Chains A and B, each alone.
Chain A
């Protein structure tokens, strides 16, 4: 089932943070939302997650069908990995919390650290628990807000392999924001470019590169992206 957002608008006072944003993401698809700082990426994800309410527009999925993974791990440092997962599984009211926790421990490869306090884990492992919490209710749509921003290259690679596996094997639709456009090019099926609250491009990374290929370096996707923004006045 496709997830749709239609005409989403959000204002903070007189400032328009999002203006008539529409897009869709299919089952098993990875959609990257990229754009400069203040473009409205986190606001859009927060609306999709049900944390913020849109002033206008429609969403095809209620928040309970959406898994949300905030930028900073939203888990408790004094609880163990297992306790964190069990707490959120119970709050999500999943049918068999212990079975779901065991499955997530296996999926994230954290079974051997299950009884360690979260505060003692590395940033990468904390982020894996953070993602696991977002997946507890087995949501058809997973939102990731800059999931790799605090990770080293090796941890980033493992994280994206895990997320890619989710989309490919489990058919989870994944929408993520990132500042790392190379990461978007490598892992996303499509990219959505957001600037000043408006969608200025939707398509595959190849289509974005093609839109800026003339006069530019064909191997530099980040350079193409920056020129693309500049040409459109951002």
Chain B
């Protein structure tokens, strides 16, 4: 044990004097981690859209079946998704799009309210696009999504009016039409009145048969209208969504991005540090001197794994604490954070010493570490269904054979309480630590 202590002290002294290397080793992974985290946690900025409302001032409110619909309210909702650039004419809107000041223009024609109100057909809005395919696609999707929301809200309002009118038709009451308000008797009351008349007529009376036919029609109309209300609901929102997550993370994307950013940093620091300090022993020619009785090969590997695991875990904890100072992470789970970062640090460091033992030179080890770490991080994020089944099976095997995915799972469980729990990934990481440690020990035979 004392040999391990002196070797650890020596490596820390060397690291302390390699300030640039340590700075790069810490800053590079953190920069990558933050970029990935930001890309995942927040979407792109709102697109700038030139907006022209040609509906005359004061005429944005229409009345459908006695219910006021204010188009200005729907426009405000639209501005939640886009950054509006208000213009005064269609030509100015086109200029804004052509000049690149706006990615698109949305024009609401002056007759929109009249078309909705007066039954002139569908109301139409005009959208003008510019830019490259990616920008067009992005802004088109945004506008389509917001228009779909507006259509949904409008159709809900119209449905409510229609349901109220149907109820008035069956039960009686006031109804408002473009011709004005009228009082309706209602089908139920009409049938009651017809029943009273039928009771007064003698059997076999010819009037009785005619009135019975009218009563029958009223009855069938009532039955038919009973189905109309659910049918209207179905038309206004044909498909409702009930979401159930069977497997995988239930973590919100922002919180998952925290775990991902920390896991990426941990992977890079542990792999690069462990591989580098082991390969350095050979480059400094000290390896032969050390293993001729001063320290065993296994103890040397254990020291490198421990050093890299502790250093990477400390950086990961500092990152978590830093992120926690600005976001709503649960500090009550700190004990689990420690377990997760150390388990992840051990697994990733064991991978690092295996790389260092195979590569034998610091530069080759660093290159190999980078070449391996980046794809591992990206493979861990490939969702099922995004690739063919066979390819996904291969990805699952790769993810299970390397320590990044279990590190990510352990951190997600520790930081966000996600499924699977911390125990499974931690045991997985310990098994990988043993496996990569054994691989490194084998590789030392030709070190």
Contact residues of A with B, CB < 8 Å? 46, 49-51, 63-64, 68, 70, 72-79, 83, 87-88, 90-93, 117, 133
B288 touches A83 (CB 8 A): no
Chain A proximity of B357: nearest CB distance (Å): 17
A133 to B289, CA, bound (A): 10
Chain A residues closer than 8 Å to B42, beta-carbon distance: none
Q: Which of A70, A78, A92 contacts B285 (CB 8 A)?
A: A70
Q: Evaluate whether A51 and B288 lie within 8 angstroms (CB atoms) in the complex, with A76-B10, A76-B14, A91-B3 already known.
A: yes
Chain B proximity of A183: nearest CB distance (Å): 22
Show 29 A/B contacts (Cβ-Cβ < 8 Å), sorted by A. Answer: A49-B288, A49-B292, A50-B292, A50-B293, A51-B288, A63-B292, A63-B293, A68-B292, A72-B285, A73-B285, A74-B285, A74-B286, A74-B288, A75-B284, A76-B10, A76-B284, A77-B284, A78-B14, A78-B18, A79-B10, A79-B14, A83-B13, A87-B6, A88-B289, A91-B7, A91-B290, A91-B294, A92-B294, A133-B289
A51 touches B10 (CB 8 A): no
Q: What 6 new A-B contacts, CB under 8 Å, besides A70-B289, A74-B286, A87-B9?
A: A49-B292, A51-B291, A63-B292, A87-B6, A90-B6, A117-B17
Contact residues of B with A, CB < 8 Å? 2-3, 6-7, 9-10, 13-14, 17-18, 284-286, 288-295
A49 to B291, CA, bound (A): 11
A73 to B6, CA, bound (A): 20
A126 to B270, CA, bound (A): 31
B288 touches A64 (CB 8 A): no
B18 touches A51 (CB 8 A): no
Q: Is the interface of B mostly helix, strand, loop or mixed?
A: helix
Q: Which of B2, B13, B293, B295 contacts A79 (CB 8 A)?
A: B13
B293 touches A78 (CB 8 A): no
- Nearest-CB residue, chain A, relative to B294: A91
Chain B residues closer than 8 Å to A93, beta-carbon distance: 2
Chain A proximity of B360: nearest CB distance (Å): 15
A81 to B279, CA, bound (A): 22
A33 to B285, CA, bound (A): 22
Chain A proximity of B259: nearest CB distance (Å): 35
Chain B residues closer than 8 Å to A76, beta-carbon distance: 10, 14, 284, 286
B294 touches A51 (CB 8 A): no
Chain A residues closer than 8 Å to B292, beta-carbon distance: 49-51, 63, 68
A70 to B291, CA, bound (A): 13
Chain A residues closer than 8 Å to B289, beta-carbon distance: 68, 70, 74, 88, 133
- Nearest-CB residue, chain A, relative to B5: A90
A49 to B288, CA, bound (A): 10
Chain B residues closer than 8 Å to A79, beta-carbon distance: 10, 13-14
